[in-house]
Amino acid sequence: MSLNTFGHLFRVTTWGESHGPALGVTVDGCPPGVPIDEGMIQHWLDRRKPGQNKYTTQRREADEVKILSGVFEGQTTGTPVQLMIENTDQRSKDYSDIMEKFRPGHADITYWQKYGIRDYRGGGRSSARETASRVAAGGLAREAIRALLPGVQITGYMTQMGPHKIDRDRFDWDEIENNPFWVPDAQAATDWADYLDGLRKSGESVGAIIEVVARGVPAGLGAPVYGKLDTDLAAAMMSINAVKGVEIGEGMSSAMLTGTLNADEIFMGPNGPEYSSNHAGGVLGGISTGQDIVVRFAVKPTSSILSTRRTITKSGEETEIITKGRHDPCVGIRAVPVGEAMMACVILDHMLLHRGQVGENRGKIG
């Protein structure tokens, strides 16, 4: 059973609440001999960290990671790696409002209905702060991938914010790090800044679509029929707070294609099979083809907004609520590094699994 654990062999268990003393992640199954230190993980955490610009929550968290176990003299030892992030800005405030009322769109009501008790401070376990633990694990996963198979590159970016989509003709990998939205389209970055500014000032929020691409992943990863690479990616992304849809390759649009258009034709390249297109998103029958692995997911708008919404109290009385606080107008922005982290964990997991499951007699072509 693994209700707070993700992965088959690279096992990631996140723990902690938004306003508890700390949160973190227990990673079991990391291969030994991976060079790692706190700075290498901090690098990725800093990308997700709140309060970096006006488009993300103004909560100020250092998000400083400590390695408590599993690393010796700068390398993993094969034993569990414990990564802890202490909470430092649990601003003392009055929680009496959300203690009694359920915020619409949040998990307040369902946690109460399931558990009969909930840590209502900042959303407790259902807070987006939980994703810091994922990013820490993803940082470790990236280093393990690098040690086992240099050349894999995992990159996330936004492709849509509200009604605004990127222009694929302007797609530029180098642009992604140049703007606060991780958008691969310089024009979009400018336009979206104005749009989001308007939303932010009016206390409104909006959804987004994030795409994560893994390049350099070899063919053969993925374990049919319930540990398929795309199945695990779908679960990984859907498990992120506020995600409501996941697509692989052509995604929902594949419903509109004909078989002739959809089937990526195969050619023989200098280093093995090549494909005329990538409608499959790099996965056939749950197994990687060697093409780019392409995953997209939709993040719903932040539920904490300044408009008055109708709701009920624990005692069943109808009332209203305005969710004040330090919130993201587009939580999808900070979902980009989270999606990257989940991709890294899944890819590493399947690299390990592939070794564990099969023999060395893999199919050669040509």
Task: Enumerate the known binding-site residues for FMN.
Answer: 125-127, 241-242, 285, 300-304, 326
CB of 14 to a copy of itself, least distance (A): 7
Nearer to a copy of itself, 52 or 254 (CB): 254
Is 5 a binding residue for a copy of itself by CB under 8 A? The answer is yes
Is 179 a binding residue for a copy of itself by CB under 8 A? The answer is no
Residues 6 or more apart from 230 whose CB is under 8 A from it?
222, 248, 281, 283, 286
Nearer to a copy of itself, 105 or 216 (CB): 105
Of residues 298 through 337, those in contact with a copy of itself by CB under 8 A are 298-305, 307, 309-312, 314-318, 332
Query: From residue 127 to residue 146, what is the string marking binding to a copy of itself with x (rule CB under 8 A)?
Result: ---x----------------
CA dihedral 347, 351, 356, 357 (to 10 degrees): 70
Q: In this structure, how many other beta carbons lie within 10 angstroms of the beta carbon of residue 356?
A: 10
CB of 83 to a copy of itself, least distance (A): 10
Q: Which stretch binds a copy of itself (CB under 8 A): 57-65, 171-179, 182-190, 297-305?
A: 297-305
Is 184 a binding residue for a copy of itself by CB under 8 A? The answer is no
Q: How far apart are CA 360 and CA 43, in angstroms?
A: 36
Q: Residue 347, SS3?
A: helix
| Among the listed residues 233, 209, 211, the one whose alpha carbon sits nearest the alpha carbon of residue 298 | 209
Helix (H) or strand (E) holding 22: strand 22-28
Burial of residue 260, with CB atoms counted within 10 A of its CB: 0-12 exposed, 13-18 middle, 19 or more buried: exposed
Is 99 a binding residue for a copy of itself by CB under 8 A? The answer is no
Of residues 44 through 83, those in contact with a copy of itself by CB under 8 A are 66, 68-70, 72, 75-82
Binding residues: 48, 54, 125-127, 241-242, 285, 300-304, 326
Q: How far apart are CA 163 and CA 181, in angstroms?
A: 15
Nearer to a copy of itself, 47 or 125 (CB): 125
Helix (H) or strand (E) holding 24: strand 22-28
Of residues 200 through 239, those in contact with a copy of itself by CB under 8 A are 204-209, 219-228, 230-235, 237-239
Nearer to a copy of itself, 165 or 170 (CB): 165
Q: How far apart are CA 138 and CA 133, in angstroms?
A: 9
CB of 135 to a copy of itself, least distance (A): 14
Q: In this structure, how many other beta carbons lie within 10 angstroms of the beta carbon of residue 49?
A: 20
CB of 80 to a copy of itself, least distance (A): 4
CB of 11 to a copy of itself, least distance (A): 6
Packed helices 38-48 and 130-148: angle between N→C axes, nearest 10 degrees: 130
Total length of the chain: 366
Nearer to a copy of itself, 59 or 118 (CB): 118
Is 106 a binding residue for a copy of itself by CB under 8 A? The answer is yes
